[in-house]
Homo-oligomer: A and B are copies of this chain.
Amino acid sequence: MTIADVAKAAGVSVPTVSRILNNKEYVADETRQRVHEAIRTLGYAPHTQARRLRGGATMTLALHHPIESPHDLSSVIETSYFTGTAEAASEKEYFINFLVSRLTPESLLNMYRSNQIDGIILLQVRLDDWRVNLLRENNYPFVMIGRCADLEGLSFIDLDFENAMLLAFDHLVGLGHRNIGFLTYPEAWRKVGIGPAVRSLDGYTRALNQYGLRSCYREIGLNSVEEGFEGTNDLLQENPELTAIVTVSHLTAAGSIKALALHGRSVPQDCSVMAIGFGGNFASVVTPSLTTLEWSPYEISYNATILMTETLATVQFPVQQVLVPPKLVIRESTKEVS
């Protein structure tokens, strides 16, 4: 079933059918009708691959998170990153490829060279990121969720993590807390230049200065209840006077709450706990439900994908650099200091 079958059935030539398919002008109404009817009765749909070959664009994007094993993705990425990307791509009539296997410089270049993709959306961008360097050098289109150090000419959408730190302390200090502990990403993450790991500590330092507070933090493994538990234990041993703890994930926060319980302290009566990161179900499944500074991964990935498609659709599309502010959602895990 090809365009030729439609042409024959309607008694016209192939180019005429093509014109009608693509809503070009200069087609007689009567012809248009006849062709549309042929299309309908035959149940014809144009061959996507052929259109793409002819059109020169693959109409396909990729989304990439640099992780060792796809098994682990579910602990660092919310489903909404996939659905937001998929929805935006679908609206713009793009396909999307989720890259979950290890990506090498060679295979990344190959995706463009072999016309598998027109552009890519990068997650978990480091300050100095080989993917960014490579794509920039080769002048291949991409968009970041996150950002590197040298942003000249690059489009990104990133979480305003530094601001989130300030707002977290705003909230807690407003409730009268002065002894606030902080559990953040692993030191290793900061050393390799992963944005939030670096910027959360920057924001933390600024918050301490702003409110004249004493430093009291710990770098731990991300996204594990156990690590949150251990880190909080350490923190409490050295600083029994803590009345609040800020964490960077709901899992760490859950661990904190367990550790506090072990020390005979319940949340929020004897200690407040906050989480910076995702909200929704992730925050309310914890008991007590978590007060958060949160972003919508759905919206962020949706917007980044739209940005990518617009960049591809327009010659010399202007660079866009967006910092998304977090939203404070007060649930059950914070209260006034007693």
Contact = CB atoms under 8 A, between A and B. Distances in A.
Interface string A293-314: 0000010000000000000000
A223 B284 CA distance: 11
A225 interface: yes
A176 B100 CA distance: 45
Nearest to A82: B82
A224 B83 CA distance: 20
Interface centre among A49, A53, A254 (most CB of B within 10 A): A49
A5 to B, nearest CB: 12
A263 to B, nearest CB: 14
A71 B88 CA distance: 12
A174 interface: no
Interface centre among A47, A78, A250, A257 (most CB of B within 10 A): A47
A281 B46 CA distance: 44
Contact of A86 (B46, B58, B70): B70
B71 A83 contact: yes
A286 interface: yes
Interface stretch (A8-16, A89-97, A140-148, A196-204): A89-97
6 contacts: A49-B53, A70-B87, A74-B78, A75-B281, A98-B98, A254-B285
Given A73-B80, A74-B83, A95-B97, 9 more contacts: A43-B113, A48-B115, A50-B115, A53-B53, A70-B86, A95-B116, A224-B281, A261-B287, A286-B287
